[in-house]
Structure 1
């Protein structure tokens, strides 16, 4: 990283930290972009260089996660042949990238509270989940999965993640164990009994 890139990364991180601190103190609606910029000690122009609005700050790692999932599509992995195999591949990928999936553990509870309380953030979160599902579908297709199976598995995988988030509440440490339980429950329910 060049000095300029490090300074840009530092400014972006300052904005994210400031926003989460203010959201925790005041709630989402009571915080403006001007408030965030002032707390981060940057100008409004700098804020808008990194984020289109204050909602985007809450979902700052979305593109990074999609990029990392997309990069995983090049892995040499056998094509899944059924829903169980596809879900296990997606679970493995999600677990491998858990730090990016969950984001900063300190801000996780604030994000979850805000999403639960603010309808516009629930909508934004839903759109984020759909974009991630589309990236996961492409991963499975690139690995040779049947298109219909890839679509189904990616949507079921996102549903498993949503259930895990609700089960975990505000504790990021509980998300991955909850997701594994849910994925295994779906697989055992979908598989015929011997």
Structure 2
């Protein structure tokens, strides 16, 4: 019985991957508005019922990778026995390796990452869905901290700051080759707030 279930699961995963790849190809060829669910299902050689078993609509296919990132946070939260952070700074430090790992995973294929966000920027409805997905990331980070014993206020605050650091790196350049480093810099900057530690000031051109 178990081998049969395993085979079913493998087939479902293969079908999901075909749908994702078909959608990416079609969006690249025809643009997002020029592609229907039926087009994606036909290219992936699956029925519409199979499509909707995996994705609620064609927008959701664009964000298939984000679900992998959410699952990664859940795994990280249960993979160790890190102590409960004592304060918001400690909570943010605990989120640092998770957030940087997300950056690395998200940009593993730099060209695909760039195309993904170019597509989002071209469509208001995708930008709205992206905002929802990013809040889900923050919620998962909050769950990670509360699982480790953090109080909800600290966990919620630290997770929103972590998300803001990631979003800052995306908005300042969104370079897949430097996203992790830019997020790291934003985290460092956030951790200096309120400490009295002055950040190095950029020198104007020609000075010094």
TM-score of the two chains, using structure 2 as the length reference? 0.82
1:91 counterpart residue number: 96
Whether the aligned pair in 1 keeps the contact of 2:19 and 2:51 (CA below 8 Å) is yes
CA-to-partner distance for each residue in 1:66-122, whole Å, 9 max, x for gaps?
Answer: 333233333211222233222221111122344544575442122101211111111
Q: CA deviation at 1:187?
A: 1.1
1:4 counterpart residue number: 8
- Bigger relative contact order, structure 1 or 2, given CA contacts below 8 A and separation 6+? 1
Match of 1:35 among 39, 53, 62: 39
Q: CA deviation at 1:124?
A: 0.8
1:138 has 2:182 as partner: no
Q: Which runs of structure 2 are paired with 1:1-194 in the superposition (5 Å)?
A: 2-74=6-78, 75-98=80-103, 100-102=105-107, 105-169=110-174, 171-193=175-197
CA-to-partner distance for each residue in 1:51-76, whole Å, 9 max, x for gaps?
Answer: 11101111113344333323333321
Change beyond 3 A, Cα 1:156–1:112:
same
Change beyond 3 A, Cα 1:138–1:100:
same
Higher Cα Rg, which structure: 2
d(CA) in 1 for partners of 2:10, 2:151: 42
Q: Unaligned stretches of 5+ in structure 2?
A: 199-208
Change beyond 3 A, Cα 1:8–1:105:
farther
Give secondary structure in 2 for the equivalent of 1:173: coil
Whether the aligned pair in 2 keeps the contact of 1:87 and 1:157 (CA below 8 Å) is yes
Q: Unaligned stretches of 5+ in structure 1?
A: none
Give secondary structure in 2 for the equivalent of 1:73: helix
TM-score of the two chains, using structure 1 as the length reference? 0.87
Whether the aligned pair in 1 keeps the contact of 2:84 and 2:145 (CA below 8 Å) is yes
Q: CA deviation at 1:50?
A: 1.3
RMSD (CA atoms): 2.2
Aligned length: 193
